[in-house]
Amino acid sequence: MIKYIVILLDDTSTSFCHYANGKTERRLMPLQTLKDGICYAMKENLNIQFVYPEYALHEEYLKVIDSIDHTDIKPFGVSDGGCGSASYESDVVVFNTLEEAGDCQFRSDTAYVVRTDKAHLFAGCEALVTMLGKVTRLNIVITDVQTFTEGDFEACKSLLGKLSEELERLYVSGRSSQLNLLTDRMLLDQMNNCGAGETTITLAPDGRFYVCPAFYQSAGGYAVGDLEHGLDIKNQQLYRLDHAPICRICDAWQCRRCVWLNRLTTLEVNTPSHEQCVMAHLERNQAMKLLKRLKAKGFGFDQEVKEIDYLDPFTIRHEW
């Protein structure tokens, strides 16, 4: 059942996930379309997430946006108040490079997303460690995970180990910072994926619905309805966990199970690539080790993460 709607306010609205926004020309959502989208969300009892472009919107748009409870997702620096002030007025701030984060005045009531490729991720380990000590919530999104090699997996394992050590130090000092790659799995008791097409839908500036922003802002996407006629998701069951033969038996519950990345790499929305699975299990295993260390120091976590001997569930398919 759809519970959330992502409203892209412009063709150039920031990406906050794996995909790169291929649209470079501004195309602001018509004001009436915005009003109709909000009305649709109210009728369907949906939680709204507005995604902003890299320029300040007109006051008339802000008044309409503020007429409804919502979550703001903005790229770093968006505001008429100057560079970096987006962090003072947004629920989620997106950094499109690790370097941008160095200029941010972090706030405890804001979540931060760092979109980075593997090269900058591995080179920016110390910057990420420093950032963990300043934020309440940090999401790291690796934009080229589908290109990972065995050497990249080893480098990522090392990185996760260092981030895990910093999180342990922060917990001991009284700070319970959250990092999607590690702490999410310590707190979950079931899958917590992005939910595109199942619990979340996207409204684009053209007035049509898409499974997620990537299906509008990247090549090869397709619409699944519009404001006039409603949703029309073909084979909607394929977006559900119970129709994902690999994911439904997996316990890497923090994995985003990205529908767009699935389709890009395997041509099936419900089947992840080897690279996505291995990365998710490296995170899971490091979370298991961190959880054990924190429990040994007296932290009261209810969750248990068991030992496994594989990194891709497909390799144990004969046991299903």
Domains of the chain, residue spans: 1-300
Mean pLDDT on 76-87: 52
Dihedral over alpha carbons 105, 52, 83, 166 (to 10 degrees): 30
Identify the pLDDT of residue 79.
Answer: 41
What is the CATH architecture assignment of 1-300?
Alpha-Beta Barrel (3.20)
pLDDT tens-digit readout, 168-225: 999 999 999 999 999 999 999 999 998 999 999 999 999 999 999 999 999 888 999 9
Between the two ends of the chain, the Cα-to-Cα distance in Å is 28
Q: Does 82 have pLDDT greater than 50?
A: no
Mean pLDDT on 149-171: 97
Identify the pLDDT of residue 103.
Answer: 79
Edge-to-edge strand list for the sheet holding 208-210: 178-179, 137-142, 111-116, 92-95, 71-75, 47-51, 4-8, 200-203, 208-210, 223-226, 230-231
Query: What is the percentage of the chain residues whose pLDDT exceeds 90?
Result: 87
Identify the pLDDT of residue 85.
Answer: 45
For residue 207 the two structure tokens come to 């007035």
**Burial class of 48 by CB neighbour count within 10 A (0 to 12, 13 to 18, 19+):** buried
* 186-191-192 Cα angle (round to 5): 80
Q: Does 317 have pLDDT greater than 60?
A: yes
CB-based contacts of 83, cutoff 8 Å, min separation 6: 77, 103
Residues facing residue 231 across a β-bridge: 225
pLDDT tens-digit readout, 135-147: 999 999 999 999 9
For residue 16 the two structure tokens come to 């906050």
Q: Does 10 have pLDDT greater than 90?
A: yes
Residue 8: band (very low, low, confident or very high) from pLDDT cuts 50, 70, 90? very high
Look over the chain and give the mean of its residue pLDDT values, rounded to a whole number: 93
Identify the pLDDT of residue 141.
Answer: 97
